[in-house]
Structure 1
Amino acid sequence: MLHIRGMDDKRRFAERLKQAMREAGYDPRPSILEREFNLRFWGKPITFQGVRRWLRGESMPSQDKLMVLAQWLQVEPQQLRYGAADDPGVGEPPAAWRAEISDEERELLDTYRALPEQQRDTLREVVTALAVASGVKPR
């Protein structure tokens, strides 16, 4: 019974993810999800097969990945994970997870996104190395 419930949770998550992508103006395809997610996630990039499993309801992302998805798609993380809550007091306010970025940061991010994938990978490695050297734990 628990196994079936877990599968249902994953399938419902997949439907919520697809709907959030549509509402944000994206076609819910693995190639699009892989590209857009990896542009925003500073950890190890997720594979095409990994995001396809999310969209098929075969697996769910870890909390750090869910937070990136929620911020990108502009939905509440708990709504993406669990669906609409009956109790509006449950969960954290949007300000706790949606950080404002400056014009300078937005320009830097736009420039980063315009780079070819190989250069973005190199830049992520450089930033991670700088963070580690500075004592900052990369996410």
Structure 2
Amino acid sequence: MSNERAEFSKRLAAAMVAQGYDPRPVVLSTQFNVRFNGASVTFTTASRWLNGNAIPEYEKLVALADWLKADPCFLLFGDRALRGGRATRQVREDAPVYDDHKVFGIYRTLPATQQKAVCEVIMAFAAAPSRRSRPTKPVVGAKLPRRKS
């Protein structure tokens, strides 16, 4: 069981408990299927999510988050989605201060496709190397890309 899946399952179970649901596969599959307009989730799939053997597809993750009143990025990534690594902390210190609750509230009102886009942008920024780590001078002997005439 991967650590990422195990951590997701813990956050999923905690979100269920926080909303007053017993974190059991039968409860998860039943309650999820009542609210999700797509393909039903089987008992086995719900069990895999809660036991740390699988992570749901994006559309199902968004539906879970909506049902459990949680942020889909938080369910998937935990505190790292909000805090990030060392490089992300540096960016946050330099960035203007925003009301996190207001920003997340606005985020939750966006359609699922826009939420996905926002998550992808945030993760791309978090994964991108900082400009400080790039060399400012060309490396001696390095070949420059050819320009097309």
2:105 to 94, 98, 113: 94
Measured in 2, the distance between the counterparts of 1:37 and 1:98 equals: 20
Q: 1:62 to 1:50 in 2, by over 3 A?
A: same
Q: Which has the higher contact order (CA 8 A, sep 6+)?
A: 1
The structure with the largest alpha-carbon Rg is 2
How far residue 11 of structure 1 moved from its aligned partner, in angstroms, is: 0.4
How far residue 46 of structure 1 moved from its aligned partner, in angstroms, is: 0.7
Q: 1:94 to 1:63 in 2, by over 3 A?
A: farther
> Deviations for 1:83-102, whole angstroms, at most 9, x for unmatched residues?
02215879x73333347xxx
How many positions carry a matched residue from both structures?
93
The gaps in structure 1 that reach 5 residues or longer are 100-139
2:69 to 74, 77, 81: 74
- Report if the CA contact (8 A) 1:26-1:32 is conserved: yes
Instruction: Tell me the percent identity.
Output: 35
Measured in 1, the distance between the counterparts of 2:42 and 2:109 equals: 25
Counterpart AA for 1:16: R
> Deviations for 1:108-137, whole angstroms, at most 9, x for unmatched residues?
xxxxxxxxxxxxxxxxxxxxxxxxxxxxxx
Counterpart AA for 2:11: R
Following superposition, which runs of at least 4 residues in structure 1 exceed 2 angstroms of deviation? 87-90, 92-99
Measured in 1, the distance between the counterparts of 2:30 and 2:10 equals: 19
Measured in 2, the distance between the counterparts of 1:67 and 1:94 equals: 14
Measured in 2, the distance between the counterparts of 1:44 and 1:56 equals: 21
The gaps in structure 2 that reach 5 residues or longer are 85-91, 93-97, 111-149
Q: 1:62 to 1:94 in 2, by over 3 A?
A: farther
TM-score, length basis structure 1 = 0.61
Cα RMSD for the two superposed structures: 2.2
